[in-house]
Chains A and B, each alone.
Chain A
Amino acid sequence: QLQLEESGPGLVKPSETLSLTCTVSAGSISSTTYYWGWVRQPPGKGLEWVGTIYYSGSTYYSPSLKSRVTMFVDTSKNRFSLKLSSVTAADTAVYYCARQRKVAVSREYFIDTFDMWGQGTMVIVSS
């Protein structure tokens, strides 16, 4: 059974860069059938899509976070990572990594369902 596990600092200072890694086990991140994404959830609030990456390195970011987000993939270590710069208290959240289905519709490919999730990691932005 494929598993995803987030790792990274639980506390980040305001204006600094949040860095998280998602390690995939019992499955290959180089699969042509899936994308890999990040979703966050502020305390007591709803889910927010952060961004998605393909094993080739193609990236897709939330328009609201695009100027601060960078994602990259390391296929040799079967993991992908998230960097969010210039963080503020509003970036405090549980960050989930997830596998996303790649769907073909009329010869075009789309990012789709989050079908497998990590357990999530809480990141607090505070001085």
Chain B
Amino acid sequence: QSALTQPASVSGSPGQSISISCTGTSSDIGSYNLVSWYQQRPGEAPKVMIYEVNKRPSGVSNRFSGSKSGNTASLTISGLQTEDEADYYCCSYAGSSTMVFGGGTKLTVL
């Protein structure tokens, strides 16, 4: 069971849109619509932003959206705001009652 692959960093200017990819395999992302995304600010616990590929929890801005194609899931943030600057992690069900996280992506809002 290997970690999902995310870019180490992405950046964007306020108002722009960015996407963060999360690549897995046919044993995890490719087989289940059970991908979630977490935002983590320094010194804080992670917070779920997207679950089951594209569902948004109550209270999360509709600027956050999720999608999946094959073995790759994506998180898109539109209308970037300075408060979006954080680390983002994807997570997927990986079969046999196991979970796997991505390595994390640091988002910088320039």
Contact = CB atoms under 8 A, between A and B. Distances in A.
A114 B38 contact: yes
B38 A47 contact: yes
Contact of A111 (B1, B57, B97, B102): B97
Report the interface size class on chain B.
Answer: 20 to 34
A114 B48 contact: yes
Contacts of B3: 46
B64 interface: no
Interface in A32-66: 37, 39, 46-49, 52, 60, 62-64
A115 B51 contact: yes
A48 B36 CA distance: 14
A111 B98 CA distance: 8
A39 B97 CA distance: 15
Nearest to B1: A63
Contact of B47 (A37, A103, A117): A117
Contact of B1 (A37, A64, A101, A120): A64
B65 to A, nearest CB: 16
Contacts of B34: 103, 105, 110, 112-113
Interface residues of A, number: 25
A53 B100 CA distance: 16
A103 B51 CA distance: 11
B75 to A, nearest CB: 14
A60 B110 CA distance: 41
Contacts of A60: 97-98
B85 interface: no
Contacts of A113: 34, 36, 48, 51-52, 91
B33 to A, nearest CB: 8
Contact of B98 (A49, A105, A112): A49
